[in-house]
Amino acid sequence: MSSVLYDTPGPRAKRRNILYSVVFLVAAAAVAWWVLSQLSDKNQLDWEKWKPFFTDSRSWTTYLWPGLENTLKAAAISMVIALPLGAFFGIARLSDHLSVRIPSTAVVEFFRAIPVLILMIFANAAYSQFSNLSSDERPLYAVVTGLVLYNSSVLAEVVRSGIQALPKGQSEAAYAIGLRKGQTMRSILLPQSVTAMLPAIVSQLVVILKDTALGSIITYPELLAAIRPMSAAYGANTIACFTIVAVIYVIVNFTLTTFASWLEKRLRRGKKSTGAVLSAAPTPDGAAV
Amino acid sequence: MFDFLEGYDLLGAFWVTVQLTALSAVGSLIWGTLLAGMRVGPVPLLRGFGTAYVNVVRNIPLVVIIVFTSLGLYQTLGVSLGSDIVNTTNFRLAVLGLVAYTSAFVCEALRSGINTVPVGQAEAARALGLSFGQVLTLVVLPQAFRSVVGPLTSVLIALTKNTTVASAIGVAEAAALMKDMIENEAQLILISAVFAFGFVCLTLPTGLILGWVGKKAAVKR
Amino acid sequence: MKRRKVTAAASVALALAVTATACGGSKNDNGSSGGKKITIGIKFDQPGLGQKTPDGTYTGFDVDVATYVAKQLGYKASDIQWKEAKSADRETMLQRGDVDFIAATYSITPEREKKVDFAGPYLLAHQDVLVRADDNSIKSAKDLNSKKLCSVTGSTSAQNIRDTLAPKAQLQNYGGYSECLTGLENKAIDALTTDDSILAGYAAQSAFKGKFKLAGLKMTNENYGIGVKKGSPLKAKINKALEKMVADKSWQKAVEANFGPANYQYEPAPKIGNVVK
């Protein structure tokens, strides 16, 4: 293990590292001990409260799976709608015509500037006032609307930078052999940039998945919202429910994140590609910079 | 036309949003830098901790973290963060949750910034006999920070928007007020437009100003 | 070749995600007997009144009342489709005809009567506070001024506290009542406020047995009615059913079964049409 930032540890540095490790371990153990003893004081570690997740399959079939299904459903629908919409706006922003470029830039920048939660609250209220959706369907529509509005503008930026990341020679060569702008975009730039954008798109899926949890605030019955009826049914094991739900989120999202960075590495190694690969590195709102 | 605003403290709500943003920004910059230091540092245990922290935290929805600070830390563990007033405690808990979440992204941005600093810089610093701490704080981080103003701006803008999630534990910021107003007033479109405008006012200038700063600050290579 | 493999992997992942959700989407009613159905709106998360159990069945006083009424209207228990009626959605659900009637801690108020009709009332509840069993410091609404109260964002109970009952009380608002219970148990919060019938349901949960009690403040009158669409002929039929429920002691049995364990001093069965102001 070597790094440019520090020398390979000699005997003294090794001793010091061990000292730091021990100090950190002691501190971490102290915190953990305090948390656990507080929790057990408050009866939160009672087997009663955790048992349902391990011995009662109904806790999964009645509460957690349906919640997770709704989470995945909202995320998948949003992604499927947001991707083409994002591609459209991303390409529109690259247009040579001011009349196309300016409105699309305005739309993208506007929806990137507004919190998803605000968009969801608005969509939920708007659907209940101006539409005929039933109360079961409305929250899903509102969640998807919020996510699509926001994420299509983020994906527009991904698409735009994906296309811009291609070497200039690609489009120049295309023009040189007589292709038109539309043809260049369709048959030269887009196919190549799609592979370049894949990691960033998969990471954006993680962002969408996490944001579906905001749906619980507007009463969409997703995974986080499953906690309330579940803890009411199992005698207020709120902490246990929260922990299980958090673990589920981490597992699902970690799988996606790992897939994204595997994809990125894979693409960067690939010899045939143009070498332009958009990073899967996440920002809190997923906007590729 | 705007008489529906009467009786609501719109500026107050946005002021809470600004405060949440500013305090969380400072906090996550500090904690995020420490995390980045751990992740590139020589102590394997700390490296492992930093990696685990980032991978866990950035994969949990922010709402879960924020609600957990209230239900877990405050209600169950009794951590009230030095205040006896419910609203103050909630505000501080929200800042804590936002810092915990955002610092994972600050850490990742900084780490990629550290990677842009030429290897020769650190090698030269080590050749001079500087320790890891000195290499990091005197040579590498100052250059890294200058190259990540852009990514950090994205993080800051995301943070501004993420403060809306604090409404989940009853912090009276903009989104909470908006929900309240929509329930009690009829002008849905106008109300939403006002709040959308408020957030555009907060985030767009931030992006523009820091974008300019980023260009100025970037190390020309 | 390599690139094609990666693209293939990505499309497989996407296909998986789509099919997974497609499976999730197609969970319809369990399609039992082909007879006529009735759809009833209830709460899903309020123990003692309307709660979805882990088996996917429903229990609570509202559920018992609704089942009895449905039976009188000629529907078997298996003909009932339960639907969650969240507080904010109730009027819209009735107006749109999503449900035939709603029994979901639905207080009769003049504003609501403009939009929907109410049968009943079938229970008289009061806004009250739930406190720890050893806490005797709350004797009237005024005592709440120095306390930390927990309620649900946007609920009428929270508004009552803020506007008239105890304006100086500190209010902690969450998305649901169950969140308040943890804090109440651990003394981060002094009291949880809403209708006493709802509070009784929480106090009766086995995990909280003996830990909480109702302060018995009776701060407001909440007449629970069964909501129907404006002008619906169901109203008269439901009223008749409710009268019968009280007369044949089924009402009493339901109240005892659902509120008994909580030591809840429920009011006697209200007279149909008699809304207590």
My answer on whether omega of the bond before B151 falls inside 30° of 0, hence cis, is no
Taking alpha carbons only, the member of C220, C214, C124, C111 closest to residue C166 is C220
Question: Phi and psi dihedrals of A201, rounded to 5?
Answer: -70, -40
Contact B43 A20 (CB under 8 A): yes
Residue B66: closest C-alpha in chain C: C174
Using alpha carbons only, how large is chain C's radius of gyration in Å?
22
Q: Residue B184: its pLDDT value, please?
A: 81
Residues of C with CB below 8 A from B87's CB? 170
pLDDT tens digits for range A176-205: 999 999 999 999 999 888 888 888 898 899
Q: Residue B185: its pLDDT value, please?
A: 83
In angstroms, the CA A71 to CA A213 distance is 7
SS3 C136: coil
In a domain, A277, yes or no: no
In a domain, A285, yes or no: no
Same fold, C38-125+223-262 and C127-214: yes
CATH of the domain at B120: 1.10.3720.10
* Gap from A197 CA to chain C (nearest CA, Å): 11
pLDDT tens digits for range A206-234: 999 999 999 998 889 999 999 888 887 88
Average pLDDT over residues C190-205: 89
SS3 B11: helix
The residue range of the domain holding B199 is 9-217
**A285 has a chain B CB within 8 A of its CB:** yes
Q: Residue C210: its pLDDT value, please?
A: 83
Q: Please name the helix (run of DSSP H) or strand (run of DSSP E) that holds residue C257, with its range, or none.
A: helix C250-259
Average pLDDT taken over every residue of chain C: 83
Average pLDDT over residues A90-103: 93
Q: Please name the helix (run of DSSP H) or strand (run of DSSP E) that holds residue C80, with its range, or none.
A: strand C80-84
Contact B63 A114 (CB under 8 A): no
Average pLDDT over residues A136-153: 94
In angstroms, the CA C219 to CA C161 distance is 10
Complex ipTM value = 0.91
**B90 has a chain C CB within 8 A of its CB:** yes
Structure tokens at C5: 């493999």
**Which residues between 53 and 72 in chain C have a beta carbon less than 8 angstroms from any beta carbon of chain A?**
53-56
Taking alpha carbons only, the member of A177, A194, A184, A169 closest to residue A95 is A184
Lowest pLDDT segment from A244-258, B32-46, C5-19, C157-171: C5-19
Residue C31's pLDDT band (cuts 50, 70, 90): very low
Residues of A with CB below 8 A from B55's CB? 254, 257
Contact A257 B76 (CB under 8 A): no
**B168 has a chain C CB within 8 A of its CB:** yes
**B7 has a chain C CB within 8 A of its CB:** no
In angstroms, the CA A48 to CA A231 distance is 12
Pairing of strands C38-42, C101-102: parallel
Residues of B with CB below 8 A from A44's CB? 76
Longest dimension (CA), chain B: 69
Handedness of CA A76, A81, A84, A90 (dihedral sign): negative
**Which residues between 48 and 77 in chain A have a beta carbon less than 8 angstroms from any beta carbon of chain B?**
none
Are residue A35 and residue A174 in the same domain, yes or no? no
Residue A282's pLDDT band (cuts 50, 70, 90): low
Contact C52 A229 (CB under 8 A): yes
Average pLDDT over residues B42-58: 94
Domains of chain C by residue range: 38-125+223-262, 127-214
Residues of B with CB below 8 A from C189's CB? 75
The residue range of the domain holding A8 is 1-42
Alpha-carbon distance values, A137 to A79, C93, C99 (Å): 18, 12, 14
Q: Residue A274: its pLDDT value, please?
A: 58
SS3 C224: strand
Chains B and C form CB pairs within 8 A to the count of 40
In a domain, B116, yes or no: yes
Residues 6+ apart with CB under 8 A from A38: B76, B77, B78
* Gap from C149 CA to chain B (nearest CA, Å): 9
Contact C98 A136 (CB under 8 A): yes
Residue C20: pLDDT above 60? no
Residue A143: pLDDT above 70? yes
Contact C51 A231 (CB under 8 A): no
In angstroms, the CA A247 to CA A252 distance is 9
- Is residue C182 left, alpha or beta, with left meaning phi > 0 and alpha meaning psi from -120 to 50? alpha
Structure tokens at C267: 């009011």
Tally the domains of chain B. Answer: 1
Higher local confidence (pLDDT), C89 or B127: B127
In angstroms, the CA C79 to CA C75 distance is 6
Tally the domains of chain A. Answer: 2
In angstroms, the CA A209 to CA C62 distance is 36
With beta carbons less than 8 A apart as the criterion, state whether B173 and B166 touch: yes
pLDDT tens digits for range C112-134: 999 999 998 999 999 999 999 99
* Gap from A3 CA to chain B (nearest CA, Å): 8
* Gap from B197 CA to chain C (nearest CA, Å): 24
The gap from C-alpha C11 to its chain's centroid, in whole angstroms, comes to: 44
Residue A264 has, within 13 A of its CA and on its CB side, a CA count of 18
Pairing of strands C101-102, C127-132: unpaired
Residue C201: pLDDT above 90? no
Contact C13 A235 (CB under 8 A): no
Residues of A with CB below 8 A from C85's CB? 135
* Gap from A285 CA to chain B (nearest CA, Å): 6
Contact A62 C92 (CB under 8 A): no
Residues of C with CB below 8 A from A58's CB? 54-56
Residue B207: closest C-alpha in chain A: A113
Residue with tokens 């850490």: B107
Domain C38-125+223-262: give its CATH architecture: 3-Layer(aba) Sandwich (3.40)
Are residue A140 and residue A265 in the same domain, yes or no? yes
Residue C97: pLDDT above 90? no
Instruction: Work out the angle at residue C109's Cα, subtended by the Cα atoms of residues C108 and C114, and round it to the nearest 5 degrees.
Output: 105
Residues of A with CB below 8 A from C89's CB? 128, 135
Determine which of C173, C178, C186 to mutate to test the interface with B (most B C-beta atoms within 10 Å): C173
Which residue in the set A72, A231, A233 is minimally distant from C21, CB to CB? A72
Residue C34: pLDDT above 90? no
Taking alpha carbons only, the member of A106, A95, A189, A196 closest to residue A153 is A106
Structure tokens at B88: 């103050």
Q: 3-state SS of B120-171?
A: HHHHHHHHCCCCHHHHHHHHHHHHHHHHCHHHHHHHHHHHHHHHHHHHHHCC
Instruction: Work out the angle at residue A194's Cα, subtended by the Cα atoms of residues A105 and A197, and round it to the nearest 5 degrees.
Output: 70
Structure tokens at C227: 């909501």
In angstroms, the CA C216 to CA C141 distance is 10
Lowest pLDDT segment from A262-276, B205-219, C181-195: A262-276
Residue A44's pLDDT band (cuts 50, 70, 90): confident
Are residue A138 and residue A218 in the same domain, yes or no? yes
Chains in contact with chain B (at least 3 beta-carbon pairs closer than 8 A): A, C
In a domain, A286, yes or no: no
Contact A115 B175 (CB under 8 A): yes
* Gap from B99 CA to chain A (nearest CA, Å): 12
Are residue A57 and residue A2 in the same domain, yes or no? no
Q: Please classify residue B215 by burial: count the beta carbons closer than 10 Å to its beta carbon, then call 0-12 exposed, 13-18 middle and 19+ buried.
A: exposed
Residue C159's pLDDT band (cuts 50, 70, 90): confident
In a domain, A288, yes or no: no
Q: 3-state SS of chain A?
A: CCECCECCCCHHHHHHHHHHHHHHHHHHHHHHHHHHHHHHHCCCCCHHHHHHHHHCCHHHHHHHHHHHHHHHHHHHHHHHHHHHHHHHHHHHHCCCCHHHHHHHHHHHHHHHHCCHHHHHHHHHHHHHHHCCCCCCCHHHHHHHHHHHHHHHHHHHHHHHHHHHCCCHHHHHHHHHCCCCHHHHHHHHHHHHHHHHHHHHHHHHHHHHHHHHHHHHHHCCCCCHHHHHHHHHHCCCCHHHHHHHHHHHHHHHHHHHHHHHHHHHHHHHHCCCCCCCCCCCCCCCCCCCC
Are residue A167 and residue A38 in the same domain, yes or no? no
- Compute how many other C-beta atoms are within 10 angstroms of the C-beta atom of residue A97: 8
- Compute how many other C-beta atoms are within 10 angstroms of the C-beta atom of residue A46: 15
Determine which of C90, C174, C184 to mutate to test the interface with B (most B C-beta atoms within 10 Å): C174
With beta carbons less than 8 A apart as the criterion, state whether A279 and A264 touch: yes
Residues 6+ apart with CB under 8 A from B208: none
Are residue A96 and residue A35 in the same domain, yes or no? no
Q: How is domain C127-214 classified at the CATH fold level?
A: D-Maltodextrin-Binding Protein; domain 2 (3.40.190)
Instruction: Work out the angle at residue A25's Cα, subtended by the Cα atoms of residues A22 and A30, and round it to the nearest 5 degrees.
Output: 125
Contact A254 B42 (CB under 8 A): no
pLDDT tens digits for range A27-36: 999 999 999 9
**A6 has a chain B CB within 8 A of its CB:** yes
Residue C16: pLDDT above 50? no
In angstroms, the CA C28 to CA C20 distance is 16
Chains in contact with chain A (at least 3 beta-carbon pairs closer than 8 A): B, C
Residues 6+ apart with CB under 8 A from B83: B89, B92
- Compute how many other C-beta atoms are within 10 angstroms of the C-beta atom of residue A44: 23
**B138 has a chain C CB within 8 A of its CB:** no
Are residue A95 and residue A214 in the same domain, yes or no? yes
Give me the percent of chain A exceeding a pLDDT of 90.
59
The gap from C-alpha A2 to its chain's centroid, in whole angstroms, comes to: 33
Are residue A35 and residue A68 in the same domain, yes or no? no
Question: Phi and psi dihedrals of C167, rounded to 5?
Answer: -60, -25
Residue A92's pLDDT band (cuts 50, 70, 90): very high
Contact C170 B85 (CB under 8 A): yes
* Gap from A105 CA to chain C (nearest CA, Å): 29
Q: Residue A288: its pLDDT value, please?
A: 40
Contacts 24+ apart (CB under 8 A), C240-248: C240/C72, C241/C68, C241/C69, C241/C72, C241/C73, C242/C65, C242/C69, C242/C119, C242/C120, C242/C122, C242/C272, C243/C272, C244/C72, C245/C65, C245/C68, C245/C69, C245/C72, C245/C122
Give me the percent of chain A exceeding a pLDDT of 70.
93
The gap from C-alpha B184 to its chain's centroid, in whole angstroms, comes to: 32
Structure tokens at C171: 């209010």
**A38 has a chain B CB within 8 A of its CB:** yes
Taking alpha carbons only, the member of C96, C85, C82, C65 closest to residue C269 is C65
Are residue A7 and residue A94 in the same domain, yes or no? no
Structure tokens at C191: 């009291």
**Which residues between 158 and 177 in chain B have a beta carbon less than 8 angstroms from any beta carbon of chain A?**
158-159, 161-162, 164-165, 167-168, 174-175
Residue B86: pLDDT above 80? yes
In a domain, B1, yes or no: no
**C206 has a chain A CB within 8 A of its CB:** yes
Residues of A with CB below 8 A from C206's CB? 235
- Compute how many other C-beta atoms are within 10 angstroms of the C-beta atom of residue C17: 18
Are residue A6 and residue A109 in the same domain, yes or no? no
Average pLDDT over residues A67-75: 96
CATH of the domain at A113: 1.10.3720.10
Residue C260: pLDDT above 80? no
Average pLDDT over residues B140-162: 93
Taking alpha carbons only, the member of C102, C123, C86, C90 closest to residue C38 is C102
Contact C2 A270 (CB under 8 A): yes
Residues of A with CB below 8 A from C54's CB? 52, 56, 58-59, 62-63, 233-234
Longest dimension (CA), chain A: 77
Average pLDDT taken over every residue of chain B: 92
Are residue A217 and residue A245 in the same domain, yes or no? yes
The gap from C-alpha C251 to its chain's centroid, in whole angstroms, comes to: 18
Which residue in the set A25, A118, A126 is minimally distant from B195, CB to CB? A118
Are residue A115 and residue A37 in the same domain, yes or no? no
Residue B112: closest C-alpha in chain A: A281
